[in-house]
Amino acid sequence: MQRGEGRYGPSRMENATEIGSTLAARPAHDNERLWSEGKAWRMTELTARVVKVMRERGMLPSFAAGTVLPLPAVNKVEFYPTFRCNDSCDHCITRSGPDREETLDPEDAATSIENVATFSVVARMRRLYGEGDFRCKPSVQCIELGRRQRPPAKLDDPLKKAYAECLQGKGNVAEWVTHSERIRLNYGRPSVRISGGEFYMWPFRLAGRKLSEDERLRHQSQLVGEIRFRLPDYDTWILTNGRFATSRDRADKVVGHWARNANSLEAGGRTRLCISVDIFHRPPAGGTVEEMLESIWRASHRHGLGAPFLYGISNNRIGYLGRAFEQFRVGVLEPHEIKNASCSTFNPASCMSVDPIDLVCQGGCREVKGFYFEHAGGCLLANNIVISPSGRMVYCCACLGDYGDFVNEPARCLERVVLDPVSIMLRRTETAIPFLETAVELDPTVQVFGAGPHPAVTASTCYQMMTGERIGSAVGRPT
Ligand code: SF4
């Protein structure tokens, strides 16, 4: 996500992440041609100019010599060990599917978790406030959902909301407890969400050899164990589409492996399955969504996990990100006909939208990048990060940007988040909108897809700035 100016130089500008590159693998845009014809800036060059202008306008704080820099920490982790998936969905933000080969080597996966532990917000609390315990009491709503004995018959709106709130940790009460004081925290338990493609498919191939299901499950079990051991204060969410549950026995086997290390006493026991029941996902062959849920529910109870959490389309609307990044042809939520691929009445959706999410109309892109707080010695900047299947650290919405090699250089990745001018501007409310609008001001040929008072403030503008890739056509070179 580096934008060509600042400490790390322009080289990173060329590096859209592999996720960004995946999105970029769509029909070619003619940025380079337009640039060579003198009709437009390269986006990367434009970004450097925007940074310069923002600095001149006093919108980019600079760190004077001797400034105590914020201490970076890792809060939540979206952990993407693979893009392999046993389904293929149009809306998939990572474009995962049966043809994807990307997979994080198990050793690198374990090292990544170790690195998260080293820089975790809990480890930082210990350093700042002394030896103590991180305690977090879940909300009543969350406890009740975890105790459900059977899957609900339908995923209605109140239930979707309750599950979403629990996933976000809403209503949890957290404290840092030392021998002499209790410090009330205004953030909940951090988490690792194993996501990306389908965890059940990881690691699909190692050293050129395709792994059997048993081999994969052993690796999956070990990785969950590693997370529980290294990050006992973290919640672990295994996000799955549930398609492994082709029968009760199969569900029992897979969940049994995942649960084996999830609930060991010394490793803590805060692992939950989170089943995505969007209508776009097909149920296991020959089965139904309802049967799938029944099997996974039963297996979860049998192996000592709490009731699975369900994740569906909230409000029956979805920013259709995967396709939106390919097309970017409308500005504001455009309803689309959708096909109920799951053939289920469990989570029917009535409408959806194709849109580069409008940051203003939607009340922000809702990709919370983290938080910071001041302490006696300075400021702690706790970041929500994404770890990609190649071990790169990614940041911000839509999994764009590239902060470096998280397996081998985690400290450097986090330092970049602190110092990168674009990171600084995008994580501050007062600068995020001016940053995006300045891009359009400096280069009116940037295709703007939003509407209303701040048309530039859409994920489409973010996307162009982050990937360095121009979308759509341009007219006339900026002066
Ligand atoms: S099941 Fe999930 S990870 Fe797989 S293709 Fe669909 S949206 Fe992507």
The pLDDT tens digits of the residues spanning 2-49 come to: 222 222 222 232 333 333 333 333 333 444 555 566 656 778 888 889
- Nearest ligand 1 atom to the CA of 85 is 4
Q: Please give the pLDDT value at position 464.
A: 81
Instruction: Assess if residue 46 is contained within a domain.
Output: no
- Ligand 1: atom nearest CA of 91 is 7
How sure is the predictor about 216, in pLDDT bands with cuts at 50, 70 and 90?
A: very high
Q: Quote the pLDDT of residue 402.
A: 82
What percent of the chain is predicted at pLDDT more than 90? Answer: 41
Give the tokens for residue 303: 């192996």
Locate tokens 């982050």: which residue? 466
Residue 401 in any domain: the answer is no
- 3-class secondary structure, 109: helix
Q: Which amino acid is at 172?
A: N
Instruction: Give yes or no for a contact between 378 and 394, defined as CB atoms under 8 angstroms apart.
Output: no
Closest atom of ligand 1 to 86 CA is: 4
Q: How far apart are CA 361 and CA 320, in angstroms?
A: 16
User: Whose alpha carbon is nearest atom 7 of ligand 1?
Assistant: 92
pLDDT at 453 over 70: yes
Handedness of CA 419, 400, 357, 234 (dihedral sign): negative
Report the distance separating Cα 200 and Cα 215, nearest Å.
11
Ligand 1 cavity residues, CB under 6 Å: 85, 87-89, 92, 96-97, 197-198, 241, 281
Q: What is the pLDDT of residues 300-352, one digit of tens each?
A: 999 989 999 998 876 566 677 777 777 776 666 777 778 888 888 888 777 77
Which of the two residues, 426 and 99, has the higher pLDDT score?
99
Mean pLDDT over each residue of the chain, to the nearest integer? 82
Which residue from 186, 118, 188 is spatially nearest to 414, judged by alpha carbons? 118
| Ligand 1 pocket mutation pick from 80, 100, 198 by most atoms within 8 angstroms of CB | 198
Residue 449 lies in a domain: no
d(CA 121, ligand 1 centre) in Å:
30
- Quote the ligand 1 centre to 246 CA distance (angstroms): 17
Looking at residues 200-225, what average pLDDT do you find? 97
pLDDT beyond 50 at 472: yes
Of ligand 1's listed atoms, the one at least distance from the Cα of 88 is 5
How many angstroms does the Cα of residue 56 sit away from the middle of ligand 1? 44
Residue 326 to residue 24: CA distance in whole angstroms = 8
The C-alpha angle 167, 73, 434, rounded to 5 degrees, equals: 80
In ligand 1, the atom with minimum distance to the C-alpha of 280 is: 6
Domain assignment present for residue 393? The answer is no
Reported as a pLDDT band with limits 50, 70 and 90, residue 242 is very high
pLDDT of the residue at 365: 62
Map tokens 């001149």 to a residue.
56
For the residues 75-88, what does the mean pLDDT come to? Answer: 94
On whether the CB atoms of residues 239 and 195 are closer than 8 A, the answer is yes
Q: Which residue has the higher pLDDT, 130 or 467?
A: 130
Helix (H, G, I), strand (E, B), or coil: what is residue 121?
helix
User: 213 in a domain, yes or no?
Assistant: yes
Better pLDDT: 335 or 144: 144
Nearest CA to ligand 1 atom 3: 197
Domain annotation covers residue 230:
yes
Residue 359 is predicted with a pLDDT of 74
Can you tell me the mean pLDDT for 448-475? 77
318 C-alpha to center of ligand 1: Å?
14
Average pLDDT over residues 272-292: 91
Which residue owns the Cα nearest ligand 1 atom 8? 92
DSSP states of 413-469 = HHHHHHH-HHHHHHTSHHHHHHHHHHHHHH-TTS-----SS-TT-BHHHHHHHHH--
Minimum-distance ligand 1 atom for the alpha carbon of 278: 7
Looking at the predicted structure, is the pLDDT value of residue 61 above 80? Answer: no
Taking the centre of ligand 1 as the mean of its atom positions, its distance from the CA of residue 305, in whole angstroms, is: 23
For ligand 1, the distance from its centroid to the CA atom of residue 71, given in whole angstroms, is 35
**Closest protein CA for atom 5 of ligand 1:** 88
The confidence score (pLDDT) of residue 396 equals 62
Domain that holds residue 183: 71-316
Tokens, residue 45: 């060059």
Q: What is the DSSP letter of 208?
A: T
Long-range pairs for 265-268: beta carbons < 8 A, 24 or more residues apart: 266/229, 267/225, 267/228, 267/229, 267/232, 268/228, 268/232, 268/233
Number of domains forming the structure of the chain:
1
**Spatial contact of 289 and 344, defined as CB atoms under 8 Å apart:** yes
- Cα(281) to centroid(ligand 1), Å: 7
Give the 3-state secondary structure percentages of the chain, helix then strand then coil, rounded to 5. Answer: 35, 20, 45
Who has greater pLDDT, 315 or 208? 208
| Contact indicator for 263, 273 with CB cutoff of 8 Å | no
The three-class DSSP label of residue 283 is coil
Q: Which atom of ligand 1 is nearest to the CA of 195?
A: 3
Report the residue among 22, 87, 200, 238 best suited for mutation to probe ligand 1: largest number of ligand atoms under 8 A from its CB.
87
CA angle 373, 377, 382 (to 5 degrees): 30
* Strand (E) or helix (H) holding 77: strand 71-82
Question: Ligand 1: distance of its center to the CA of 321 in Å?
Answer: 12
Give the distance (Å) from ligand 1 centre to CA of residue 90: 9
Query: If you take atom 6 of ligand 1, which residue's CA is the nearest one?
Result: 89
CA of 171 to the centre of ligand 1 (A): 29
Whether 287 contacts 241, CB under 8 Å: no
- For the record, the structure tokens of 10 come out as 């322009």
User: What pairing do the DSSP bridges indicate for beta strands 378-387 and 393-394?
Assistant: antiparallel
E strand spans, 265-419: 271-276, 309-311, 334-336, 352-354, 370-375, 378-387, 393-394
Candidate from 92, 279, 388 with most ligand 1 atoms within 8 A of CB, to mutate: 92
Q: Report the pLDDT value the prediction gives residue 98, as an integer from 0 to 100.
A: 96
Q: What is the pLDDT of residue 264?
A: 55
- 191-195, 215-219, 309-313, 418-422 — which one is most confidently predicted on average? 215-219
pLDDT tens sequence across 351-397: 777 777 777 776 666 555 677 777 777 788 888 899 999 999 986 65
CATH code of the domain in which 78 resides: 3.20.20
Q: Is 119 a member of any domain?
A: yes
Confidence of residue 447 (pLDDT cuts 50, 70, 90): confident
| Nearest-angstrom CA–CA distance, 398 and 328 | 14
Residue 150 reports pLDDT greater than 70: yes
Q: How confident is the model at residue 432 (pLDDT cuts 50, 70, 90)?
A: confident
Res. 87 pLDDT band, cuts 50 70 90 = very high
271 forms bridges with which residues in the sheet? Answer: 236
Distance 94 CA to ligand 1 centre (A): 8
Question: How far does residue 153's CA lie from ligand 1's centre (Å)?
Answer: 23
272 forms beta bridges with 237
